[in-house]
Amino acid sequence: LLEKDVRDRYQSASSALADLRDLRKAIQGDGDLSIVTIGCHDQRSELTEPSFVGREREMDSIKKEIAEVASGKHRTMIAVGKSGMGKSRLLLEAKRIAAQRGFSVYHSVASDQATQEPLAPLLTLVDHLAKRLRYNQDESARVANALSEYQQEVAVAMPNLAEVLGWAGESLVGPEEIGQGRVITAFGEALRCCAANEPALFCIDDCQWLDKPSLRVLEDFAKHNPESIFLLIGSRPQERMSEEVL
Whether the model clears a pTM of 0.75, i.e. scores above it, the answer is: no
Per-residue pLDDT of the chain in tens (246 residues, 90 and over written 9): 777 666 677 878 888 898 899 888 888 877 777 667 777 777 665 555 555 666 788 899 999 999 999 999 999 999 888 877 788 889 989 999 999 999 999 999 998 875 568 899 999 999 999 999 998 999 999 999 999 999 989 998 999 999 999 997 554 455 454 567 888 899 999 999 999 889 999 999 999 899 889 999 998 888 887 899 999 999 987 554 444 444
Query: Within 13 Å of residue 41, how many CA atoms lie on the same side as its CB?
Result: 15
- Determine the pLDDT at residue 19: 87
- Determine the pLDDT at residue 49: 55
**Cβ pair 245, 219 in contact under 8 A:** yes
Closest Cα partner for 83 from 201, 209, 194? 209
- Determine the pLDDT at residue 63: 94
Question: How many other CB atoms are there within 10 angstroms of residue 107's CB atom?
Answer: 16
- Determine the pLDDT at residue 176: 54
- Determine the pLDDT at residue 22: 86
- What is the residue type of 16? A
